[in-house]
């Protein structure tokens, strides 16, 4: 199946929209195929502000109505306690909210941006998609992350080379309670590094320490400005540690 076939068969679609590479391309293709499409963004404490701003910008660029759903995810004990399957409970809350919003707006087909590169065995949240009958057209059509980036670039989407970004909750070690304070400290630290020119990294929280994880390029940059960066992060963390592992990219 091609994406054009999917949108030919489903002329009215609600898309779970994060502002990332995959859902951005899916939304673009929906508009290109002339589908009646709306984007639904769930805004919780786990999403940084820049993700929401990117979602708003792209929806505006494509002329698509963006529905913003406010969700207090920290009210969900199964999420806050941060078990190994936290992603399942979180994604369930998110998609239940999207489905409710979509149905109220008159949409019965719900699609998300899961692609053919996503490993179903390693993503507890994928179970939710099956349980709630959410379509994943990119995955169904065999589109990998690399293919989506290439197509997005050809389409002129600003998201084509946007680094992969997992929610802020992933920065807190499994089993440690997730709090508003931990999330805000993490967001501020990562925003600071973005402003310093870093692009592909993570700031993980281990107790009260910051563990910085970089790609090789960003790691070299860090050591050039190590003192300045460390001093800034020590305003919120008790120590700053650079992880020994170097990644080529965050997938």
**What's residue 247's pLDDT?**
58
Per-residue model confidence (pLDDT) at position 105:
97
- List residues bridging with 99 in a β-sheet: none
27 occurs within a structural domain: yes
Residues 136 and 169: beta-carbon distance below 8 Å: no
Q: Verify that 33 and 123 share a domain, yes or no.
A: yes
**172 inside domain:** no
Instruction: Indicate whether 185 belongs to any domain.
Output: yes
Give pLDDT, residue 251.
Answer: 44
Q: Within a domain: residue 250? A: no
Are 30 and 144 found together in one domain?
A: yes
> Is residue 249 domain-resident?
no
Question: Which structural domain, as residue segments, surrounds residue 207?
Answer: 179-242
Same domain membership, residue 120 and residue 24: yes
Residues 98 and 207 in one domain: no
Q: Which residues of the chain have pLDDT under 70?
A: 120-123, 244-251
Please report where in the chains the tokens 């239940």 appear, as a residue: 96
On whether residue 170 sits in a domain, the answer given is no
CATH at residue 47: 3.40.50.620
Tell me: the pLDDT tens digits for 50-109? 999 999 999 999 999 999 999 999 999 999 999 999 999 999 999 999 999 999 999 999
Q: Are residues 17 and 124 in the same domain?
A: yes
Among residues 202, 111, 113, which one has the least CA distance to residue 149?
113
Task: Tell me the H-state helices in 105-198.
Answer: 126-131, 137-140, 145-155, 180-195
Q: What is the residue whose two structure tokens read 């941060």?
A: 82
pLDDT computed for residue 246 by the predictor: 55
Same domain, 149 and 188: no
- Each residue of 31-67: b (16+ CB within 10 Å) or e? eebebebbbbbbebbbbbeebbebbeebbeebebebb
Same domain, 99 and 190: no
* Residue at token pair 């003192």: 227
Give dist(CA 192, CA 170) in Å, integer: 18
Closest CA to 15 of 34, 51, 41: 41
Query: Domain for residue 225, yes or no?
Result: yes
186 and 142 in a common domain: no
What does the alpha-carbon distance between residue 227 and residue 39 come to, in Å, rounded to a whole number?
43
The percent of residues in the chain predicted with pLDDT above 90, rounded, is 86
Alpha-carbon separation of residue 231 from 23, 29, 106, 238 (angstroms):
37, 45, 52, 11
d(CA 114, CA 107): 19
pTM confidence score:
0.91
Domain shared by 10 and 118, yes or no: yes
Other CB atoms within 10 Å distance of the CB of residue 6: 22
3-state secondary structure of 140: helix
Q: Is residue 194 part of a domain?
A: yes
In terms of domains, do 190 and 112 share one?
no
32 and 151 both lie in a single domain = yes
Total domains in the chain come to 2
What number of other Cβ atoms are within 10 A of residue 3's Cβ?
20
């Amino acid at each position: 199946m091609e994406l054009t076939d999917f949108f030919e068969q489903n002329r009215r679609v609600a898309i779970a929209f994060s502002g990332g590479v995959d859902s951005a391309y899916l939304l673009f293709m929906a508009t290109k195929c002339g589908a009646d499409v709306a984007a639904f963004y769930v805004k919780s404490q786990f999403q940084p502000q820049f993700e929401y701003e990117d979602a708003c910008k792209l929806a505006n660029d494509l002329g698509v109505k963006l529905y913003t759903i406010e969700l207090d995810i920290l009210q969900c004990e199964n999420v806050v306690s941060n078990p190994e399957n936290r992603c399942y409970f979180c994604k369930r809350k998110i998609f239940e909210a999207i489905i409710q919003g979509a149905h109220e707006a008159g949409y019965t087909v719900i699609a998300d941006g899961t692609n053919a590169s996503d490993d179903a065995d390693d993503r507890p949240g994928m179970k939710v998609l099956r349980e709630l009958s959410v379509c994943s057209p990119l995955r169904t059509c065999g589109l990998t992350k690399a293919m989506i980036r290439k197509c997005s670039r050809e389409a002129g989407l600003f998201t084509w080379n946007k680094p992969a970004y997992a929610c802020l909750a992933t920065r807190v070690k499994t089993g440690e309670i997730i709090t508003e304070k931990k999330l805000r400290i993490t967001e501020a630290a990562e925003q600071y590094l973005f402003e310093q020119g870093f692009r592909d990294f993570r700031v993980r929280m281990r107790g009260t320490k910051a563990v910085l994880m970089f790609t090789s390029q960003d790691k070299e940059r860090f050591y050039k400005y190590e003192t300045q960066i460390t001093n800034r992060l020590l305003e919120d963390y008790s120590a700053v540690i650079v992880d020994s592992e170097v990644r080529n990219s965050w997938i």
